[in-house]
Amino acid sequence: MSDPSILAIDTAGSQCSVALLHAGKHQHLGGQGPRLHAREVLPLTERLLAHEGIAMENLDAIAIIRGPGSFTGLRIGVAVAQGLAYAAGLAVISVSSLRLLAWKALQEHPSHLALSILRGKPGEYYWGGYQQDASADDLQLLVEEQPGPAPVPETAAAFYAMDPSRRLLAGEAWNDELLRGVKAASGASVCWTGSCDARDLLVLAEQDYRQGRILSPEELRPFYLREDMAYRKVEKALAERGADD
C-alpha cells in the first residue's frame, strides 16, 4: 500500500491542533490558546493543507479523537471531521483518547501495561488499560474503558494482576488529590503524566488506516462512556429477554 494522506484533528484537549501525513511527511499546527477549538480548527486545517499544497478531496481519510473527553471539544471535532469528510467523500478514522494516551506513554515505557485515566465530571474519571501487542504494531485492550470514581482492583483487575514492575499509570489526572491513595496503592513502577496532540493521533490513524479500521462519515459520533454503557446494558437486556421467549 502506498503512503496514505491523512488529516488528523485534535479538539479533545484544552488546545486545538491539526496534523497532516502527506507524501510520507508529517506536518503539524497548534492553536494559540486554550478552549479556542471552534474558532481555530477550520483556519488551522486550511492553513496546513494550503502549506502542503493538497486539496481536501485528495486526502484519503480524516482522523479524529472520539473521546472520552471534553463534551464541547468532542462535539466540535466530530462535527468538523464529519462535515469535511461528507463534502470531500473521505473515510473517517475514530481513535479513543484513552488508547492514544496509553500509546504515547508506552512509547517511552515499553513492555508495560498502561492504565490511562482522564477527568470526567467532578469526582469522576474515565480509564482503560492497554498493553503493546507483541505480535503486531498495535495495542491490546486489557481493561475495558469505563467511568467511575477511581480504577481499583474490582474495576481494573487485569492491571492489578500484572507484575507491579510492569504497571504504568498514564495521564496527568493521576496527580489529582482524589487519586493519591489509589495511585500509591497501585504499586505502579512508573507514572507518566504527559499529554498528546494531533501528531500522536496521526501515528495511530495511519496504523488504523493500513489495517482497514475506517468508518464512513455517517458512522462517526462522539464516544461518551456512560451513554455507550447504557446502550450496551439495554442491548444485553433485550437479548436476554429474546432468549427467554
pTM comes to: 0.88
Range of weakest confidence among 65-69, 147-151, 227-231: 227-231
pLDDT per residue as tens digits for the range 214-227: 999 999 999 877 65
Which of 160, 99, 166, 93 has the alpha carbon at shortest distance from 127?
99
Greatest Cα pair distance in the chain: 61
Q: Which three cell numbers stand for residue 60?
A: 484519503
Residue 6 has pLDDT above 90, yes or no: yes
Mind listing the domains of the chain with CATH numbers?
6-96+196-223 (3.30.420.40), 98-192 (3.30.420.40)
CA torsion sign, 78 to 69 to 148 to 188?
positive
pLDDT of residue 63: 98
Cα–Cα distances in angstroms (integers) from residue 161 to residues 152, 164, 182, 186, 228, in the given order: 11, 8, 15, 11, 26
φ and ψ of 19, to 5 deg: -145, 155
pLDDT of residue 223: 85
pLDDT per residue as tens digits for the range 33-87: 777 899 999 999 999 999 999 999 999 999 999 999 888 899 999 999 999 999 9
